[in-house]
Structure formats: C-alpha cells, structure tokens
Amino acid sequence: MSANKDKLYIFDTTLRDGEQSPGASMTKDEKMRIGKALERMRVDVIEAGFPAASPGDAESVQAVAEIVRDSTICGLARALDKDIDIAAEALKPAASKRIHTFIATSPIHMQTKLRMEPDQVVEQAVRAVKRARGHTDDVEFSAEDAGRSEFDFLCRIVEAAIDAGANTINIPDTVGYNLPSQFGDLIRRLRENIPNSDKAVFSVHCHNDLGLAVANSLAAVLNGARQVECTINGLGERAGNAALEEIAMSVRTRQDVFPCNVDLETTEIINCSRLVSTITGFVVQPNKAVVGANAFAHESGIHQDGVLKNRETYEIMKAEDVGWNTNRMVLGKHSGRNAFKARLKEIGIDFAREEELNSAFSRFKDLADKKHEIYDEDLQALVSEVIHDS
Ligand code: KIV
Ligand code: ZN
C-alpha cells in the first residue's frame, strides 16, 4: 500500500450477514474453512457470527477465533448485557477480538420494533458500548437502519457511542434504500457535524435491495468512510450485502480516485468465491463482476482481436490479480479469424497453407451458428475434417 494513502479496512461478514441469506446456513467446520480462506486473503476483520443467536453460532465463533490468528475476529451482539457477555465468551480464544454491538435508530424501527423512546435508545447504546469495552478495547457500534434515521438523532447517538468508548462507528443502509450521492453526503455530514468524529473509524454496511450496495459503499469511502463491511459474492440478507471482491477491485483499480487502499491479497479472491459458492450452494452468475465465469472472457471478434494485440484494450484489471489463471477467449459465432488462429496455435495446430485455415474457419463459423461455445475437442474434429478433405 502506498505510504501516503489511508488504509481502507475490509470487514468481512460472510459468516454472519452472509449466513443470514435464506438457505445459506453453514456448519462450524464450513465456517472454519471460510475463516481460514479469509485470513489467507488478509481480510482485516472477520465477523464470525452472532453468538447469542444460538449455542451453535457461539461455538462456531469460538472455533474461528481459535484457528484464525492474523485477522481480528468479531462477534455481533444486540445492545444487551446478555448478548455482549455471550459474544465476549465466544471470542476469548481470539488473538485479536472485536465486539460489534448494535441498536436500531430509525423512527420506524424505534417505534414499531423496539417500542422505545429515542432517549432510551441512546441510553441503551451507551450502556452496551461501555459493557463491551469491559471485555475488549476494540468495540464497534452500529446504528441499525441509519440510512433511514433522522440526521440529528443519528449525530446524537453516534457522538454518545464514541464518548462511551466505541472506536468504530458503523452506518448501515440496512434496507438498501439510499442512493450513492445521498449516502456519500450522509457520511460526510456525520463526520463534519459530530464533534468527536475523529476519534472513531467510520464504517459502512450497505445492503443491495436496489442493486446499489457497492456504489453506496464506494460513495461513502470517497466521503471519509475507512471501513467497508462486505461479503464474498455479495451474499447476505435478502438481496445481499456489498460484494467484497467488487469493493476491493474498484479501490485497487481506481487508485486515481480513491484516497485510500485495501491491504488484501487479492489473488485469493477466486478461491474464496468458489469456496463460499460450493459450501452454500449459491451459484455465482456467469456475468458477475470479478468472480463470474465470464468476467475475463471475450467472445466477439473485435474484442478478441484487440485483447490479443494488447489486453488493456478490453481489460481494466488482470484476471491473474484476482486469482484466475488467465483471461479466456471464448470461441463462438462472434469470434474472429485472429482468435480462431491463436487458439489453434495454442492447441498445437498451425496450418501450412492459407486455404486450409480458410476452410477450417468457415467450418468453424457454420458450427458456431449451431452451438453456443466451441471447445478444443470441436476444433480437433473440425481440423481433422479439413486435413481429410484436402
Ligand atoms: O444490516 C444491518 O443493519 C446489520 C447490522 C446488524 C449491522 O446487519
Ligand atoms: Zn446487514
């Protein structure tokens, strides 16, 4: 990471919010495997679970805390003494631990879910942060549904949480309601208006209900957030959370724009993505940014020709930087002669006569009209026919 840039902390919540995806429950052993993969990727904080949610969750958090040494392990807790104490117990074996406590701050959540007055909510938040500080000096406070909370109240509760000892303040867009410019402004205004804001790292946690989780997180980073909460493959409650791989590669790729950088081993991204997909059974869509099978695949002749001459014509990042072996030329009906010839060469076929190549290329185009993708075996068969006929 460049010396004059801030660090952007990556807080992975695949094992907690990711597991809240309907159908994505994980066993203790699976969580341990994902925890180790995240550690290899050098994720700063791993939210391993919500220990008070169930004895099994507490056991999983404890198991991850035992085997992961290089990332901070975090446990989620409602702003309740009981939850905080259970989280602290589960986190005991961690080399570095964080308690993440939260309470809702939007009018709808306070009135209809918590049935509490704003003053009571502030009081409970302060008590929770203090209790958590009794267990560890690394405490994060989240104002749940901050994205729909009243600005003045949000300022008040965040200021009180920092005074009580929270060193990370998380601003969740719990229901994915915000737009990027609005969410970026919210982070900037909070930092400008809260007198003790420089005593805490501002974090964001964006959900993807409108498909804006990554855009909102990045807008927040451009406005001073220095921790992003995210998940592998964008797994998470409902439409999911911001995808770690998209956040990391946006920041890495656009260093001309971002005043900070991530400290990740990005070549581990594909491993993590495949592991999470295999364990949860959630298939990654082929056109998913960074980790989808087509993310570095080129099919059209014009693109293939450009990439063969200079990869940067159509690639803004290197496939190898996120853990793919290389980019991929897909031979299909849009492919051109250059890509066809290059692929033949790669599999050891180099026609001596131009007419043979022309004949093979025209047979390839006929076949490509009938088949989505032409594989090496198809090419071998097609070449045999050309040799046989000539
Ligand atoms: O979405 C949310 O608000 C959360 C909090 C618990 C951080 O997951
Ligand atoms: Zn969430």
Quick one: which of 145, 295, 150, 158 has its CA closest to 207? 145
Mean pLDDT within 291-310: 95
Instruction: Tell me which H or E stretch contains 7.
Output: strand 6-7
Mean pLDDT within 135-140: 98
Is 353 strand, coil or helix?
coil
Would you place residue 3 in the very low, low, confident or very high pLDDT band (cuts 50, 70, 90)?
low
Strands (E), 105-192: 139-144, 168-173
pLDDT beyond 80 at 36: yes
The half-sphere exposure of 172 on its side-chain side, counting CA atoms within 13 A, is 26
Quick one: which of 5, 11, 46 has its CA closest to 204? 11
Q: How close is the Cα of 270 to the center of ligand 1, in Å?
A: 26
pLDDT beyond 90 at 4: no
Count of Cβ atoms closer than 10 Å to residue 352 Cβ = 6
pLDDT in tens, 167-183: 999 999 999 999 999 99
Is 72 strand, coil or helix?
strand
pLDDT at 116: 98
* Number of the ligand closest to the Cα of 240: 2
* Token duo for residue 110: 């306070």
* Number of the ligand closest to the Cα of 100: 1
Q: Which residues pair with 11 in a beta bridge?
A: 45, 229
Q: Is the CB of 144 under 6 A from ligand 1?
A: yes
DSSP-based helix, strand, coil % in the chain, nearest 5 = 50, 15, 35
Q: At what angle do helices 213-222 and 180-193 cross, to 10 degrees?
A: 40
Quick one: which of 96, 106, 91, 193 has its CA closest to 142? 106
Mutate-to-test residue for ligand 1 from 74, 174, 208, 241, highest number of ligand atoms within 8 A of CB: 174
